[in-house]
C-alpha cells in the first residue's frame, strides 16, 4: 500500500506571495477607524463601512449613509473586492451552492453553502490548497499555494450570509446559522488569520456576523500546538479532528502530520479542549475501501474513544477523478457503525454527494488548473437548469 501513496512533503510555512489589498476585515476596529481618519474622514465612517461589509453590500452606490463624494474612495481603500466568482454549481433544488472563487493573484478556493430545514451552513476555505499532503484528498494532492487573509476567509462567510438574506437560496430569505472550516486548507496552519476570522464570525452586528461560538466548527488534521493554543485562548468553538485511522502505522501514511504528532497526542489535545469547554469534539473519519474500514480498526477506534467526550463522524470517501481511492461499501459502513456504537461511542454517517461534478473539496479548483497554474476567471455560466451536485453535510 505504501508504494501506491503519493509522497508529498508536509508544508507548514506557506509560500510567500503578494499580499491581498488592505481590507477592513484584516484590521481591528481601532485600526480601521485610524485608517479612515488618515483619509480625512471622521473615524465613525469605519463603523459604517463595517456595517455594509457584514451585510454583504458591495456596491458603493448602496452605501447611502456615506457622503456621495467619498463613497467610492472609502470603499476602494477599505472594502476592495477580494473574491471573484468563477463558477457556481447548484444542487438539491437550489438548496446547495458550491462556489469557486478567484483571488487577487489568481489563486482558487472554494466554499459550499448548504440549506437545511433547521439551519444554513457554509463550508469555507482557509488556505489556497493545503500543505498536509493527505494522499486521498484532492486539495492535499494539489499542494499549498498560500494562506488566505482574514478578509478572504471572512468574505466567504459574508457572501453566504448575503445569499441567504437575499433569498438567492431556494426557500426564501433566511439567515446563515453555521460556519465550518472544512473547505480547502488546514485552518490551524493559518492560525492568526483564522483566529481573526473567528472573532469576526462571533462578534455581534454591525461589527461581525453575530454567530454563536458553538455554531462555528474548526477542523484540523491534528496540529497539536495550535489545538493547545486554541484551548488556552478560551474559545468555545466546536473542534473537529480528522483522524482517519486509530493506529499510528496507518495514520502515518494517510495523514502525514501524524509523523509529527501521534494519535495519542492528538486525542489528548482534543480531550483537553473538551475538558475546558465542557462539550464533545468530533472525530472525522473518511471510510476508504480496504484501507481503514476493517472491523478490527473499528474496534480499535472504539477502544480509543470509549469514555471520551468524542463523537465520530464517518465520511464515505468522495473519490476524486483518476484516484485509486474509493468509498467503503454499505455493508462495511454499517459494520463500522455497529462496532463503534458497541463501544459506547456516538457515531453518525455523513451524507456525501456530488461525486459526478467534482463535489469533493478541491476538485473544482483542480479542474481549473492547467499544468498546475490556476486558470483565469471565466464568466459565470448560466445555471438553468441547475447542475446536479452535492457537498458534505455538516455534522
As annotated, the binding site for S-adenosyl-L-methionine includes 185-186, 219, 242-244, 318
Report the distance separating Cα 34 and Cα 200, nearest Å.
19
What are phi and psi for residue 203, nearest 5 degrees? Answer: -70, 135
152, 284, 361, 392: the catalytic one is: 361
The annotation places the binding site for [4Fe-4S] cluster at 130, 134, 137
Whole-angstrom Cα distance, residue 105 to residue 271?
39
Separation of alpha carbons 183 and 129, rounded Å: 10
The sheet carrying 310-316 orders its strands as 84-91, 96-102, 108-116, 119-123, 178-181, 216-220, 238-242, 281-287, 310-316, 347-349
d(CA 220, CA 144): 16
Return all residues near 235 (Cβ < 8 A) that are at least 6 apart: 198, 213
- The cell for 369 is 488548473
- The answer to whether 280 touches 274, Cβ cutoff 8 Å, is yes
Euclidean distance between CA atoms 297 and 244, whole angstroms: 10
Active site residue 123: no
Q: For the chain, how many residues are written? A: 395
Q: Which of 110, 152, 284, 392 is catalytic?
A: 110
CA distance 35 to 290: 57
Residue 186: Cβ-neighbour burial (10 angstroms; 0-12, 13-18, 19+): buried
* CA–CA distance, 219 with 178 (Å, rounded to integer): 14
Residue 48, CB half-sphere, CA atoms under 13 Å: how many? 17
Three-state secondary-structure class, residue 316: strand
Q: Which residues are annotated as a binding site?
A: 130, 134, 137, 185-186, 219, 242-244, 318
φ, ψ dihedrals at 360, nearest 5°: -70, 150
CA atoms of 151 and 21, how far apart (whole Å): 10
Q: Catalytic residue positions?
A: 110, 361
Amino acid at each position: 500500500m505504501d508504494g501506491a501513496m503519493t509522497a508529498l512533503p508536509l508544508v507548514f510555512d506557506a509560500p510567500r506571495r503578494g499580499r491581498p489589498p488592505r481590507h477592513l476585515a484584516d484590521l481591528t476596529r481601532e485600526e480601521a477607524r485610524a485608517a479612515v481618519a488618515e483619509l480625512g474622514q471622521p473615524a465613525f465612517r469605519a463603523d459604517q463601512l463595517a456595517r455594509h461589509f457584514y451585510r454583504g453590500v458591495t456596491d458603493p452606490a448602496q452605501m447611502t449613509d456615506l457622503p456621495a463624494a467619498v463613497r467610492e474612495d472609502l470603499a476602494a481603500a477599505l472594502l476592495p473586492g477580494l473574491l471573484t466568482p468563477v463558477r457556481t454549481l447548484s444542487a438539491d433544488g437550489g438548496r446547495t451552492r458550491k462556489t469557486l472563487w478567484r483571488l487577487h493573484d489568481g489563486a482558487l478556493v472554494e466554499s459550499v453553502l448548504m440549506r437545511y430545514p433547521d439551519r444554513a451552513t457554509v463550508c469555507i476555505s482557509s488556505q489556497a490548497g493545503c500543505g498536509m499532503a493527505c494522499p486521498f484528498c484532492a486539495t492535499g494532492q494539489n499542494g499549498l499555494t498560500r494562506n488566505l487573509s482574514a478578509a478572504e476567509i471572512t468574505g466567504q462567510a459574508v457572501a453566504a450570509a448575503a445569499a441567504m438574506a437575499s433569498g438567492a437560496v431556494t426557500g426564501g430569505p433566511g439567515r446563515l446559522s453555521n460556519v465550518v472550516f472544512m473547505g480547502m486548507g488546514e485552518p490551524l496552519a493559518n492560525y492568526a488569520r483564522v483566529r481573526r476570522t473567528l472573532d469576526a464570525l462571533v462578534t455581534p452586528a454591525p461589527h461581525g456576523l453575530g454567530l454563536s461560538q458553538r455554531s462555528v466548527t474548526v477542523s484540523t488534521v491534528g496540529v497539536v500546538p495550535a489545538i493547545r493554543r486554541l484551548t488556552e485562548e478560551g474559545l468555545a468553538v466546536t473542534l473537529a479532528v480528522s483522524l482517519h485511522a486509530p493506529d499510528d502505522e496507518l495514520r502515518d501514511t494517510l495523514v502525514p502530520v501524524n509523523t509529527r504528532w501521534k494519535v495519542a497526542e492528538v486525542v489528548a489535545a482534543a480531550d483537553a479542549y473538551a475538558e475546558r469547554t465542557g462539550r464533545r469534539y468530533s472525530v472525522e473519519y473518511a471510510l476508504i475501501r480496504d484501507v481503514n474500514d476493517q472491523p478490527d480498526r473499528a474496534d480499535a477506534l472504539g477502544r480509543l474513544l470509549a469514555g471520551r467526550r468524542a463523537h465520530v463522524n464517518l465520511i464515505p470517501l468522495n473519490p476524486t477523478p483518476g484516484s485509486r481511492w474509493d468509498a467503503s461499501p454499505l455493508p462495511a459502513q454499517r459494520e463500522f457503525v455497529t462496532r463503534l456504537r458497541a463501544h459506547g461511542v456516538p457515531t453518525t454517517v455523513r451524507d456525501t454527494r456530488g461525486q459526478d461534478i467534482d463535489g469533493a473539496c478541491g476538485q473544482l479548483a483542480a479542474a481549473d488548473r492547467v499544468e498546475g497554474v490556476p486558470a483565469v476567471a471565466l464568466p459565470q455560466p448560466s445555471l438553468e437548469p441547475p447542475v446536479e451536485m452535492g457537498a458534505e453535510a455538516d455534522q
